[in-house]
């Protein structure tokens, strides 16, 4: 069996997505997501110039060897561009293998470990009252777990609060929008939000929150401590994790569970955090961390330390990543939760998929492969549009983490 062709499809049904399609001499094709939000064309160039030529003529069944070739063969290891490209190839090859086997991907990985994949949705509001109402809307939609982000009094912009509600898109401009950040205002407000949410809805639902890399370790420790009475499912990206040791300080002060890793690319980025039991959930997902092949390795390491998975699932990960992640989630023994930020109907139409939502759970479906396809004719109607994520500055103009 041979790979005969591979091509990159860029489409913008409201936001940009990059998809790799691999074709074989047996007529079976597979697709993989290669979207890197705000840096899409870097991955397109990497795939077209450096990866696709090495794939032609290879046996698509040799998923492991092709992964190792992409990783070791690059010499310049790691990084989001390289690992997104490797992930796209890997996802497409697992799709092909599962289609050849006539199995949904989760069956090929080792079979079903659960009946459904618990997801969390994104509730966000301009202020406390609106955010409380939005969480109520998600509860009414059947969600068991909800992430709450709110506008902050006295602060013009806050992370996670979009112009839209069910669908919002942070990569909103061709050049980065500049937002203003004030940690003091955020720390004064956030415990009040969760106090109000528990007062309104009780303790039966899981509540989550994303600090989006904005805090220093000691500030993060303080927030974790202040949130303890409200029993969060997790506090995410409390502080940047380039320095994995920083989490020792947070951990020493709070029992609020910690989640990290949506920006990680490999097992090396989370090795110390996992082995030192400094986190509770690892956020890596298919497209960002080298595909199903590498994500499995991360999950297996995490399992040794009772760290559970919590795959990133924002809208900048295409339905292809969502589909593949749901098969992974259905199989992985140490599953925790899956993020589910809904794609717009336009995106769903470009990527017809087998997965479905019901009662707070996503189900990968029974189609052979990962169950997600691309409608190329429709995709061609939405040409690429430059779009970048915002940046953040402190009130005095200092650059901060967005």
Active site (catalytic) residues: 159, 212
Closest approach, Cβ 340 to Mg ion, in A, equals: 13
Question: Which residues make Cβ contacts (< 8 Å) with residue 320, sequence separation at least 6?
Answer: 19, 31, 32, 33, 91, 287, 351, 370, 372, 374
DSSP string, 364-384: --S-SBSSB---HHHHTTS--
Answer with the entry of ligand GCO, Mg ion, none that 126 interacts with (C-beta below 5 to 8 A by kind).
none
CA-CA distance, 296 to 302, in Å (whole number)? 10
**SS3 of 331, please?**
helix
340 touches 362 (CB < 8 A): yes
Decide which of ligand GCO, Mg ion, none touches 90; Cβ closer than 5 to 8 Å per partner kind: none
CA distance 85 to 2: 20
Q: Rg of the chain's alpha carbons, rounded to an integer?
A: 20
Handedness of CA 121, 124, 130, 131 (dihedral sign): positive
Q: Is residue 339 a contact residue for ligand GCO (CB under 6 A)?
A: yes
| 40 contributes a contact to ligand GCO by CB under 6 A | no
Taking CB atoms, the residue at the shortest distance from Mg ion is: 210
Cβ proximity to ligand GCO: between 339 and 373 the closer is 339
What single string gives the DSSP state of each residue in 47-64?
A: IIIIIHHHHTTS-TT-HH
Cβ-in-10-Å burial (0-12, 13-18, 19+) of 396 comes to exposed
Number of residues engaging Mg ion in binding (CB under 5 A): 2
Cβ neighbours, 10 Å, residue 255: 12
Nearest to 121 by CA among 94, 140, 97: 140
Q: How far is the CB of 330 from ligand GCO (least distance, A)?
A: 21
Closest to ligand GCO by CB, 33 or 339: 339
Binding of residue 339 to Mg ion (CB under 5 A): no
* Site pattern 246..265 for ligand GCO (x: CB under 6 A): ----------------x---
- Closest residue by Cα to residue 93 from 38, 26, 23: 23
Rounded least distance, CB 325 to ligand GCO, Å: 13
Judged by CB under 6 A, the residue of 40, 134, 269, 316 near ligand GCO is 316
Smallest distance from Mg ion to CB 211, Å? 9
Return the H-helix or E-strand segment holding 140.
helix 128-140
What is the footprint of ligand GCO within residues 137-176 (CB under 6 A)?
170
CA distance readout (Å), 35 to 28, 319, 321, 379? 23, 11, 9, 14
Residues that contact ligand GCO, how many (by CB under 6 A): 9
> What is the three-class DSSP state of 79?
coil
Assigned token pair, 220: 């993060």
Q: Whole-number minimum distance, CB 191 to Mg ion, in Å? A: 20
Residue 170 or 217 with smaller CB distance to ligand GCO? 170
Selected from 210, 219, 329, 373, the binder of ligand GCO by CB under 6 A is 210
212, 294, 353, 370: residue in contact with ligand GCO (rule CB under 6 A): 212
Binding mask 198-237 for Mg ion (x = CB under 5 A): ------------x---------------------------
Q: Which is nearer to ligand GCO, 24 or 124 (by Cβ)?
A: 124
Q: Which of Mg ion, ligand GCO, none interacts with 316 (beta carbon under 5 to 8 A by kind)?
A: ligand GCO
314 binds ligand GCO per the rule CB under 6 A: yes
Tell me the closest approach of the beta carbon of residue 181 to ligand GCO, in angstroms.
14
314 binds, options Mg ion, ligand GCO, none, Cβ within 5 to 8 A by partner type:
ligand GCO
Strand segments, DSSP code E, in 204-347 are: 206-210, 234-236, 258-260, 281-282, 308-311, 335-339
Question: To 10 degrees, what angle do helices 63-72 and 291-304 make?
Answer: 90
Which residue, 251 or 288, has its beta carbon nearer to Mg ion? 288
- CA angle centred on 115, ends 113 and 121, rounded to 5°: 110
Name the minimum Å distance from CB 84 to ligand GCO: 12
Which member of 37, 82, 254, 330 binds ligand GCO (CB under 6 A)? 37
Q: Which residues bind ligand GCO (CB under 6 A)?
A: 37, 170, 210, 212, 262, 314, 316, 339, 389
Q: Which residues bind Mg ion (CB under 5 A)?
A: 210, 262
């Amino acid at each position: 069996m041979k790979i005969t062709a591979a091509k990159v499809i860029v489409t913008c049904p409201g936001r940009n997505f990059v998809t790799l399609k691999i074709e074989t001499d047996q007529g079976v094709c597979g697709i993989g997501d290669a979207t890197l939000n705000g840096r899409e064309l870097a991955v397109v160039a990497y795939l077209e110039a450096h990866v696709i030529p090495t794939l032609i003529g290879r046996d698509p069944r040799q998923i492991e060897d092709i992964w190792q070739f992409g990783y070791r063969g690059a010499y310049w290891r790691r990084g989001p561009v390289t690992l997104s490209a490797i992930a796209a190839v890997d996802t497409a090859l697992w799709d092909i293998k599962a289609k050849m086997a006539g199995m949904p991907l989760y069956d090929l990985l080792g079979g079903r470990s659960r009946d459904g994949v618990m997801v969390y949705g994104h509730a966000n509001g301009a202020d406390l009252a609106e955010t409380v109402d939005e969480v109520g809307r998600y509860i009414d939609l059947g969600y068991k777990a909800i992430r709450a982000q709110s506008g902050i009094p006295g602060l013009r912009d806050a992370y996670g609060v979009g112009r839209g509600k069910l669908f919002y898109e942070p990569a909103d401009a061709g050049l980065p929008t500049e937002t203003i950040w004030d940690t003091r205002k955020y720390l004064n407000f956030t415990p009040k939000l969760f106090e109000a949410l528990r007062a309104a809805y009780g303790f039966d639902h899981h509540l989550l929150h994303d600090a989006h890399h904005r805090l220093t370790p000691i500030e993060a420790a303080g927030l974790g401590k202040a949130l303890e009475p409200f029993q969060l499912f997790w506090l995410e990206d409390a502080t940047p994790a380039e320095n994995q040791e920083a989490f020792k300080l947070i951990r020493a002060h709070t029992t609020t569970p910690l989640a990290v890793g949506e920006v990680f690319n490999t097992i090396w980025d989370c090795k110390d955090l996992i082995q030192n039991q400094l986190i509770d959930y690892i956020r890596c997902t298919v497209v960002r961390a080298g595909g199903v092949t590498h994500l499995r390795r991360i999950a297996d390491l995490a399992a040794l330390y009772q760290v559970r998975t919590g795959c990133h699932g924002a809208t900048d990960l295409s339905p292809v990543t969502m589909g593949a992640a749901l098969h992974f989630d259905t199989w992985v023994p140490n599953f925790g939760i899956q993020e589910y930020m809904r794609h717009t109907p336009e995106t769903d139409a470009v990527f017809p998929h087998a997965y479905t939502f019901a009662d707070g759970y996503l189900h990968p479906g029974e189609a052979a492969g990962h169950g997600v396809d691309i409608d190329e004719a429709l995709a061609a109607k939405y040409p690429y549009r430059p779009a970048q994520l915002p940046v953040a500055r402190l009130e005095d103009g200092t650059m901060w983490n967005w």
